[in-house]
């Protein structure tokens, strides 16, 4: 059975991934609703860490653009890669499974982080954006006290 809602969901998710890959924060943000249920799997009590400022509460389309700007500012652009393994769609919901490969600009430390991204689409826009990733690998890559530059965590 063909679910037209699932087709829209898949199309929006595929476009989101394409725009993230292209690296244009404003184009990425245009896919978000004016207000979005945004969550990253870091401790709820944290309001951001100086070394990883993109990891904090967000809610608006402008927040989404700033999130992707901050990620770009804190990583080496020539050493970025994401492998998408699967996109699962159920009506308005989609889960993207994969692995992020980045290098922290400040420490020079490369890292890999498995992730699951759960998005919900309403009227062609993202209304839920929940990311579950290996936050320890990210934190270690940005910790100037941990390991040596160039070490993959």
CA atoms of 65 and 23, how far apart (whole Å): 10
Give me the pLDDT at residue 137, please. Answer: 83
Are 98 and 88 spatial neighbours (Cβ–Cβ below 8 Å)? no
Are 106 and 51 spatial neighbours (Cβ–Cβ below 8 Å)? yes
Give me the pLDDT at residue 127, please. Answer: 98
| 99: three-class secondary structure by DSSP | strand
Q: For residue 62, what is the enclosing H or E element?
A: helix 61-73
Structure token pair of residue 90: 């159920």
Give me the pLDDT at residue 33, please. Answer: 98
| 60: three-class secondary structure by DSSP | strand
Give me the pLDDT at residue 149, please. Answer: 47
Q: What is the pLDDT along the chain (153 residues), one digit of tens a residue?
A: 467 677 999 999 999 999 999 999 999 999 999 999 999 876 555 555 666 777 777 899 999 999 999 988 888 888 888 999 999 999 999 999 999 999 988 899 999 999 999 999 999 999 999 999 887 888 888 886 655 544 455
């Amino acid at each position: 059975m063909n679910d037209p809602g699932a087709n829209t969901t898949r199309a929006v998710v595929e476009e989101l991934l394409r725009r993230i890959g292209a690296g244009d924060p404003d184009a990425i943000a245009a896919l978000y609703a004016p207000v979005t249920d945004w969550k990253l799997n870091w401790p709820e009590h944290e309001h951001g860490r100086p070394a990883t400022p993109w990891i904090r509460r967000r809610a608006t389309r402008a927040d989404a653009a700033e999130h992707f700007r901050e990620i770009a500012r804190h990583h080496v652009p020539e050493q970025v890669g994401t492998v998408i393994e699967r996109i699962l769609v159920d009506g308005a919901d989609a889960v993207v499974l994969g692995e992020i490969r980045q290098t922290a600009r400040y420490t020079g430390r490369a890292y890999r982080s498995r992730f699951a991204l759960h998005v919900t689409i309403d009227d062609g826009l993202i209304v839920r954006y929940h990311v579950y990733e290996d936050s320890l690998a990210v934190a270690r890559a940005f910790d100037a006290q941990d390991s040596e530059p160039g070490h993959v965590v």
